[in-house]
Amino acid sequence: MPNPTAAMLVIGDEILSGRTRDANMHHLAGALTKHGIDLKEVRMVSDDAPAITAAVRALSAGFDHLFTSGGIGPTHDDITADCVAAAFGRAIDIRDDARAVLQAHYDRTGTELNEARLRMARIPDGATLIDNPISAAPGFTIENTHVMAGVPQIFEAMVASVLPTLTGGAPLLSQSLRIERGEGDIAGPLRTLSEDFPDLSFGSYPYSHSGAFGAHIVIRGHDGARLDAAIQALSRLFPDDAS
């Protein structure tokens, strides 16, 4: 059986403006790979309600899972929860269980649960909460969509909370070989080799360092024995250039 598939939606003007570098996609890709869920698409949108709603609808319909990052904080531009609710045709309001989580957290820290912070307790009908051990404000899962914070430390904690509840497949394995030749010399033999191993994927990633150039060839697949055979075959193709 093929692995489950996933998409990611990264939300926020600060990402698209270049002010903030996104780290969450890198983390999610690695976590999903280990869990046996194939990340197939990543999309970035601004803090624009119609764009977020349309992207949620499209990606949740196209993949087994959708993970969103960003836009669930206490400020006016945190509109992700409302957009996700709209995408699934659900009402959204302050929920008692989410409010209780926030109240307990702010009581412990001696902070007021004011109107702005209470926005983070607004959860679409029928959603389940995602635990946030860092700052308490929960994410949520609705149908196949997992709505998470954009702050990397919190996002990573939420991913760790959600992944054990999801059915995975075979983890994606990889092996790599550095070949000290240009891609123009590698392309033909590499194409032939990939045809001999149609169950594996082959990627060529060029490098240049201190006047030397070549390519890192990365072979990926789910069968360790097949990977071993492919990397050995690649080494035989370029015996004097591989390392």
CATH of the domain at 183: 3.30.70.600
Distance between CA atoms of residues 67 and 177, nearest Å:
32
Distance between CA atoms of residues 116 and 7, nearest Å:
30
Total domains present in the chain = 2
Residues 51 and 75 in one domain: yes
Q: Flag whether pLDDT at 128 surpasses 90.
A: yes
Q: Flag whether pLDDT at 208 surpasses 90.
A: no
Tokens of 53: 């709603």
Residues 209 and 98 in one domain: no
User: How many of the other CB atoms lie within 10 Å of CB of 230?
Assistant: 24
The sign of the dihedral angle between the CA atoms of 196, 198, 201, 204 is: positive
Tokens of 44: 């970035």
Instruction: Give me the chain's average pLDDT, please.
Output: 94
pLDDT band at 240 (very low <50, low <70, confident <90, very high): confident
Confirm whether 138 is domain-assigned. yes
pLDDT band at 242 (very low <50, low <70, confident <90, very high): confident
Under 8 Å between Cβ of 171 and 33: yes
Residue 211's pLDDT is 77
Residue 219's pLDDT is 95
Residues 24 and 135 in one domain: yes
Encode pLDDT of 6-55 as tens digits. Answer: 999 999 999 999 999 999 999 999 999 999 999 999 999 999 999 999 99
Encode pLDDT of 59-112 as tens digits. Answer: 999 999 999 999 999 999 999 999 999 999 999 999 999 999 999 999 999 999
Residues 9 and 127 in one domain: yes
Confirm whether 62 is domain-assigned. yes
Residues 80 and 179 in one domain: no
Q: Is 222 exposed, middle or buried (0-12, 13-18, 19+ CB in 10 A)?
A: middle
Q: Provide the residue type at 49 as one letter.
A: A
Domain holding 116, by residue range, is 5-165
pTM: predicted TM-score of the whole model, two decimal places: 0.87
Distance between CA atoms of residues 55 and 43, nearest Å:
8
Please spell the DSSP secondary structure of 182-218, one letter per residue. Answer: -HHHHHHHHHHHHHH-TTSEEEEEEEEETTEEEEEEE
